[in-house]
Amino acid sequence: MFRPLSLSCKLRTVIAAVFLVSGCGNVAFAAARPSAPAAKAHPDLSGIWEPTSGSMKPHGHPAFTPKATAAMSPTLTPGEAVWGQNGIDASDANCLPRRQPWMLVQSAPITIVHDGNKMILLYEKRSAPMHVYIDGRDHPDENAAAKPTLNGHAVGHWEGDELVVESVGFADHPGHGPLNSLPYLPTLKITERFRLEKNGQELHAQFTIGDPQLFETPYIYDFTWHRLPYRTNYALVELCDARDPARLKY
């Protein structure tokens, strides 16, 4: 039976309830939403994230420059050679902190605390926090007396629901290089693109390692973590004491 169109309370209630459940950002509702000037909420990347099986997916092989090839085959002192045979290096022997990108793509979980203006990434094992500024600031001017740091200077901005983090200004401290045993040079730039997938239960990142002195073309790989339940998981604190003689015995 056909009747004149007039919405009943029941229909209006259903429509309102569905809008409330879907929340903001649902593309299906974009056209039907009232024209209120609300700020778009960005995804919250906070959580404890553990790598999944087969997490790392490189985009082909790295294209090293001759300088990079030479840097990966350094001449060792006799003492360094002894250490190397025992799987020891200066970084491990002295409990020096690890850093990005190496620390982000290991088997242990990472913790991300993200509050809008700032994101901090923490690797569970011996490492330094990675500070990402998402407050609109830029990198220090080239002429500024900015001191190179372990994790570089990292700034982020949103491209849709993807957080793009760019890091420059790395110090060349001992330890794992941006790839293999490559050095951290002033020309290094690391870009990470983070996004949530599978209803926020997976964190995906695409890493781009770029340094014209070391790579003919930037080296790219993807990495995936899955979310650990927050009620039953906590970060393990690794404490390293370089006085422990066991560190020099393998």
CA separation for the pair 229, 232 (Å, rounded): 6
How far apart, in Å, are the Cα atoms of 180 and each of 19, 102, 128? 50, 9, 19
The answer to whether the CB of 242 falls within 8 A of the CB of 93 is yes
CA separation for the pair 51, 66 (Å, rounded): 33
The least CB distance from residue 207 to another protein, in Å, is 21
Cβ-based nearer residue to another protein, 216 or 244: 244
Alpha helices (H) along the chain: 9-22, 66-71, 78-85, 90-93
The least CB distance from residue 169 to another protein, in Å, is 10
Cβ-based nearer residue to another protein, 67 or 195: 195
Q: How far apart are the first and last CA of the chain?
A: 85
Cβ-based nearer residue to another protein, 5 or 36: 5
Cβ-based nearer residue to another protein, 108 or 122: 122
The least CB distance from residue 217 to another protein, in Å, is 30
The least CB distance from residue 202 to another protein, in Å, is 10
CA separation for the pair 122, 132 (Å, rounded): 11
Q: What residues have CB less than 8 Å from 147, skipping those under 6 apart?
A: 171
The least CB distance from residue 223 to another protein, in Å, is 18
The least CB distance from residue 231 to another protein, in Å, is 5
CA separation for the pair 201, 192 (Å, rounded): 19
Determine how many CB atoms are found less than 10 A away from the CB of residue 114: 20
